C-alpha cells in the first residue's frame, strides 16, 4: 500500500522582550536559579498579572507579517494542570480568542513552491524548569523561565514530508528572527517545535490517528524524528496494528521516538477565561503604528534582489536566509554597483571564511563597505579575481582599507601594456617549445603560455589583456 | 445537569484533592445545587447578545516592557520547605 504522511507543526517562540509577559522580571537567559522570579512568577497568593505591551506588539508584528487576521479583542484563558514548575497550577494562555488567526507562509522544497496555512498564533507564558539530577531524591525547580512570553504558532496539517516540515520550520525561524520578535536561539529553547504526525493510505480523505512529537530543538532532529515516526506508523499499520493517539519524545541518541503519555491519561485542562485579566483590545492606530515599522519581509526582499541586483532566484533565497545577511548583501551591492558579483563574493569567499572561523555574518571582520570597495576594484580592472582574494585576506586580517592594502602589498593589476608586452616577449623567448606546439595546432600550449605570463607577472597581469596580447604576438 | 459520584471523584482527582465516598456524596449534593443555579441562569434568553469574557466591560491595561523587579529569591526562599543551590526542592517528578 502507498502511504501519505500528514504533518502539522506547533512552534513555541520565546518573544524577545526585556521583561516577562505578566511581571517586570528580566527574561535574560542563564541567570542564577530563581534570581529572576518575582512574586507573580512564583505565584504568591494575592498577586495579579499585568500584561506586557511589548509582548502584544510582537504578536501583532507576527500577524501582520503572515497576512493573518488580528483579533481586535482577544482573551486570556487559564489552562489548568499540575506540575511543580508551574506554581499557579495553571498556565495563562489563549484558547477561544487568540490574538492571531489564519495567515500563510510560502516554502520551497526542491525548487517547488508551496503555501502552508497557519491556524492560529496565541500568547502564553512559559513554565519554569525542573532539574531531575539527584537532590537527595528530590527535584529542583528553577522559576526564572516561568512567565517568559511565548507565541505558540500552529500550522494547518498541510505538510506531506519531513522535508516540507523542515522547510516550513526554517521559513518560520527566518521570519520570527527577521521581524525581531524572537532571537531564534534553538539551544537556549527560544524556538521549540512539536510535530503532529500521521499517515493515511494515498487517496483516503480522513486523516489517520496522529502522534505528537514534543520539544524538538533542532531542524536535524525534526527531520530524523518525523522520518522515524512515519516509518514506525507505517510498519505498525502494515503489521495489522493500530495507532493510538499519544504524545512521544524523540531520543537523539537512538534516533527513535518513544511514548510519553497516551490519550488515556491525557490532561483535562478545564480552560476558562482568566478572571485576573481583561480582554485585550487592539485598535487600528496601534496596529498601523506597528505596521509602519515592519521591515521589508523575506519574500518581498527576494523579489527586490532579483529585480534590482540581477541575482538568481536561488541566490536571492540564500541571501535572505537572515535579515543580517540580506542587509549585508544589499550594502555590498549598493557600494559596488555589481549585484551578481556581490552575491558571488558574499555567498562564496565571505561565507567560506565565516564558516571556517565559525562566525556569523553579524561578526564578520570584513565590513560590507569594504567588501563593496573591493568588488569595485575588480570591476574597474585594478584587481583580478586572484589578487582580489589576496586583498580579501588582508581585509579579514584587519589590515585597513582596500586601496591601502593594494598599495602596501603591491597587488595592483598591471595595466601598463608596455610592461606586460615585455614580460610576454621574455616568456615567449624562454618557451620556444610551447610556441612551436601552439603553431602546430596544440591549443593546450596556449594555456601553458598564459600560465607562464601570469606567473612571471606574479599574478598581477590582467588575464584578459594577457590573452589578447599573447594571441596577437603568436599570430604575427 | 446533575453530577454522578464518579464525576465528583474525577473532578477531585484533577484538582489533586483526596476525598472519601462520604465526602464525595456530600460534595455531590453541594455541587449539584451550584449547577442548579447555573441552570437557572442558562434559562435566560441571550439570543443576539455577544458573550463577554469578563464581567466588566473594560479592557486590559498594559505595562511598558521594562525590567522593574529585583532579585528577592532569598526572602522568598526563607519560607520554602526545602531549598538547595537556589532551587526549590519538591518531591521527585519524572513524567
Residue A264 has pLDDT above 70, yes or no: no
- Cell numbers found for residue A146: 516561568
Q: Are the CB atoms for A219 and A166 separated by under 8 Å?
A: yes
Residue A476 has pLDDT above 80, yes or no: no
Percent of chain A with pLDDT over 90: 73
Round to whole Å and give the CA distance between A370 and A359. 18
Chain A residues whose CB is inside 8 A of the B66 CB are: 18-19, 24
Averaged pLDDT for residues A446-468: 82
User: Does A266 score more than 70 pLDDT?
Assistant: no
Judged against a pLDDT cut of 80, whether residue A132 lies above it is answered with yes
- Looking at residue A167, what is its pLDDT? 96
Q: What integer pLDDT is reported at residue A436 of this predicted model?
A: 85
pLDDT at residue number A461: 80
- CB atoms near residue A414 (< 10 Å): 18
CB contact under 8 A, A83 and B86: no
For residue B25, give how far its alpha carbon lies from the nearest alpha carbon of chain A (Å).
22
Smallest CA-to-CA distance from A473 within A431, A435, A430, A440 is with: A435
Distances (CA, A) of A341 to A149, A337, A385, A414: 42, 9, 11, 22
- Do A179 and A65 contact (CB within 8 A), yes or no? yes
Q: What is the pLDDT of residue A470?
A: 85
What is the rounded distance in angstroms from the CA atom of residue A80 to the CA atom of residue A86?
10
- What is the pLDDT, as a whole number, of residue A55? 98
Instruction: Give yes or no for residue A412 having a pLDDT over 80.
Output: no
Q: Please tell me the predicted confidence (pLDDT) of residue A305.
A: 96
| Distance in angstroms (rounded) separating the CA atoms of residues A78 and A57 | 21
The whole-number average pLDDT for the span A184-204 is 96
Q: What is the mean pLDDT of chain A?
A: 92
A contacts of B94 (beta carbons < 8 Å): 132
Question: Quick one: pLDDT at residue A415?
Answer: 67
Which pLDDT belongs to residue A106? 93
Nearest CA in chain A to B76: A39
Cα angle A28, A29, A34 (rounded to 5 degrees) comes to: 85
Q: By CA distance, what is B91's nearest residue in A?
A: A138
Q: Do B64 and A53 touch (CB under 8 A)?
A: yes
Of B14, B54, B62, the CB nearest to A268: B14
Chain B residue numbers with beta carbons less than 8 Å from the beta carbon of A139 are: 89-93
Taking the C-alpha atoms of residue A18 and residue A53, their distance in angstroms, rounded to an integer, is 11
Extents of the domains making up chain A: 3-286, 296-409, 417-475
Grid coordinates given for A132: 531531575
Q: What is the mean pLDDT of residues B54-73?
A: 93
Residue A424 in contact with residue A466, Cβ under 8 Å? Answer: yes
Question: Do A53 and B95 count as a contact with CB atoms less than 8 A apart?
Answer: no
Tell me the chain A residues in contact with residue B59 when contact means C-beta distances shorter than 8 Å: 73, 278-281
Domain boundaries, chain B: 5-41
Q: Does A74 touch chain B (CB under 8 A)?
A: no
The pLDDT score that the predictor gives to residue A102 is 98
The Cα of B21 is separated from the nearest Cα of chain A by a number of Å equal to 23
Output the CATH code of domain A417-475: 1.10.10.410
- Are A161 and A189 contacting, i.e. CB atoms less than 8 angstroms apart? no
What percent of chain A is predicted at pLDDT more than 70? Answer: 98
> Which residues 104-133 in chain A show a CB within 8 A of chain B?
130-132
To probe the interface with B, which of A29, A97, A139 has the most B CB atoms within 10 Å?
A: A139
Radius of gyration of chain A (CA): 30
Across the interface, do A140 and B88 touch by the CB < 8 Å criterion?
Answer: yes
- Contact between chains at B90 and A139 (C-beta distance less than 8 A): yes
Q: What ipTM describes this predicted complex?
A: 0.87
Q: What is the pLDDT of residues A4-49, one digit of tens each?
A: 999 999 999 999 999 999 999 999 999 999 999 999 999 999 999 9
Cβ-based contacts of A38 with chain B (< 8 Å)? 69, 72
Nearest to A454 by CA among A379, A384, A363, A369: A384
pLDDT given for residue A85 in this prediction: 93
Give the span between the Cα atoms of A31 and A36, in whole angstroms: 7
Interface test with B, best of A21, A33, A265 (most B CBs within 10 A): A33
What is the C-alpha to C-alpha distance for residues A431 and A152, in angstroms, rounded to an integer? 72
Contacts of B63 in chain A (CB under 8 A): 24, 50-53
A324-370 per-position pLDDT tens digit: 999 999 999 999 999 999 999 999 999 999 999 999 999 999 999 99
pTM comes to: 0.84
**Do A70 and A63 touch, CB atoms closer than 8 A?**
yes
Nearest by CB to residue B62, choosing from A19, A24, A51, is A51
Are the beta carbons of A290 and A64 closer than 8 angstroms? yes
Least confident of A287-291, A341-345, B35-39: B35-39
Where is pLDDT greater, at A354 or A134?
A354
Distance CA B83, CA B73 (A): 11
Provide the grid cell at B66: 521594562
A262: pLDDT strictly greater than 70: no
Name residues whose C-beta falls within 8 Å of residue B10's C-beta, 6 or more positions apart in sequence: none
Task: Give the mutation candidate from A138, A149, A258, A290 for the B interface (greatest B CB count, under 10 A).
Answer: A138
Nearest CA-CA partner of A199 in A167, A241, A168: A241
Number of CB atoms found within 10 A of residue A138's CB: 19
- The answer to whether the beta carbons of residues A195 and A6 sit under 8 Å apart is no
Amino acid at each position: 500500500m502507498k502511504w501519505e504522511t500528514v504533518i502539522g507543526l506547533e512552534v513555541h517562540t520565546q518573544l524577545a522582550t526585556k521583561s516577562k509577559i505578566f511581571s517586570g522580571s528580566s527574561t535574560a537567559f542563564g541567570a542564577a536559579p530563581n534570581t529572576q522570579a518575582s512574586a507573580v512568577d512564583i505565584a504568591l497568593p494575592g498577586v495579579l498579572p499585568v500584561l506586557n505591551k511589548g509582548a502584544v506588539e510582537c504578536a501583532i508584528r507576527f500577524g501582520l507579517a503572515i497576512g493573518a487576521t488580528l483579533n481586535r479583542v482577544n482573551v486570556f484563558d487559564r489552562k489548568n494542570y499540575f506540575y511543580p514548575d508551574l506554581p499557579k497550577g495553571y498556565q495563562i494562555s489563549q484558547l477561544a480568542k487568540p490574538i492571531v488567526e489564519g495567515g500563510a507562509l510560502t516554502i520551497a522544497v526542491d525548487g517547488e513552491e508551496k503555501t502552508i496555512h497557519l491556524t492560529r498564533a496565541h500568547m502564553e507564558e512559559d513554565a519554569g524548569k525542573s532539574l531531575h539530577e539527584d537532590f537527595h531524591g528530590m527535584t529542583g525547580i528553577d522559576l526564572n523561565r516561568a512567565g517568559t512570553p511565548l507565541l505558540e504558532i500552529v500550522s494547518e496539517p498541510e505538510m506531506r514530508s519531513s522535508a516540507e516540515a523542515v522547510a516550513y520550520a526554517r521559513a518560520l525561524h527566518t521570519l520570527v528572527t527577521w521581524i525581531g520578535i524572537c532571537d531564534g536561539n534553538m539551544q537556549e529553547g527560544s524556538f521549540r517545535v512539536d510535530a503532529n504526525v500521521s499517515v493515511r493510505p494515498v487517496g483516503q480523505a480522513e486523516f489517520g490517528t496522529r502522534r505528537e512529537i514534543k520539544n524538538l530543538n533542532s531542524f536535524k532532529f525534526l527531520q530524523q524524528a518525523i522520518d522515524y515516526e512515519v516509518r514506525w506508523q507505517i510498519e505498525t499499520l502494515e503489521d495489522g496494528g493500530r495507532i493510538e493517539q499519544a504524545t512521544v519524545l524523540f531520543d537523539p541518541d537512538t534516533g527513535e521516538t518513544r511514548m510519553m503519555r497516551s490519550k488515556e491519561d491525557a490532561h483535562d485542562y478545564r480552560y476558562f477565561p482568566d478572571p485576573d485579566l481583561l480582554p485585550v483590545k487592539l485598535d487600528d492606530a496601534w496596529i498601523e503604528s506597528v505596521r509602519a515599522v515592519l521591515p521589508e519581509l523575506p519574500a518581498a526582499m527576494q523579489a527586490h534582489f532579483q529585480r534590482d541586483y540581477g541575482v538568481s532566484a536561488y541566490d536571492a533565497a540564500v541571501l535572505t536566509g537572515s535579515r543580517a545577511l540580506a542587509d549585508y548583501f544589499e550594502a555590498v551591492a549598493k557600494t559596488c554597483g555589481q549585484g551578481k558579483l556581490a552575491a558571488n563574493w558574499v555567498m562564496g569567499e565571505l561565507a567560506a571564511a565565516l564558516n571556517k572561523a565559525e562566525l556569523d555574518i553579524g561578526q564578520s571582520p570584513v565590513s560590507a563597505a569594504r567588501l563593496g570597495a573591493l568588488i569595485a576594484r575588480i570591476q574597474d580592472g585594478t584587481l583580478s579575481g586572484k589578487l582580489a582574494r589576496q586583498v580579501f585576506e588582508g581585509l579579514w586580517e584587519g589590515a585597513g582599507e582596500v586601496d591601502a592594502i593594494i598599495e602596501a602589498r603591491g597587488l595592483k593589476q598591471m595595466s601598463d601594456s608596455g610592461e606586460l608586452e615585455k614580460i610576454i616577449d621574455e616568456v615567449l623567448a624562454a618557451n620556444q617549445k610551447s610556441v612551436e606546439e601552439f603553431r602546430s595546432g596544440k591549443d593546450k600550449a596556449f594555456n601553458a603560455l598564459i600560465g607562464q605570463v601570469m606567473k612571471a607577472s606574479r599574478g598581477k597581469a590582467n588575464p584578459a589583456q594577457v590573452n589578447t596580447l599573447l594571441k596577437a604576438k603568436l599570430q604575427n | 445537569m446533575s453530577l454522578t459520584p464518579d464525576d465528583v471523584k474525577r473532578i477531585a482527582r484533577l484538582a489533586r484533592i483526596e476525598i472519601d465516598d462520604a465526602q464525595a456524596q456530600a460534595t455531590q449534593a453541594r455541587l449539584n445545587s451550584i449547577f442548579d443555579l447555573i441552570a437557572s441562569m442558562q434559562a435566560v434568553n441571550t439570543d443576539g447578545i455577544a458573550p463577554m469574557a469578563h464581567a466588566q466591560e473594560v479592557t486590559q491595561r498594559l505595562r511598558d516592557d521594562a525590567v522593574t523587579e529585583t532579585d528577592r529569591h532569598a526572602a522568598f526562599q526563607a519560607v520554602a520547605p526545602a531549598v538547595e543551590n537556589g532551587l526549590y526542592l519538591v518531591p521527585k517528578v519524572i513524567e
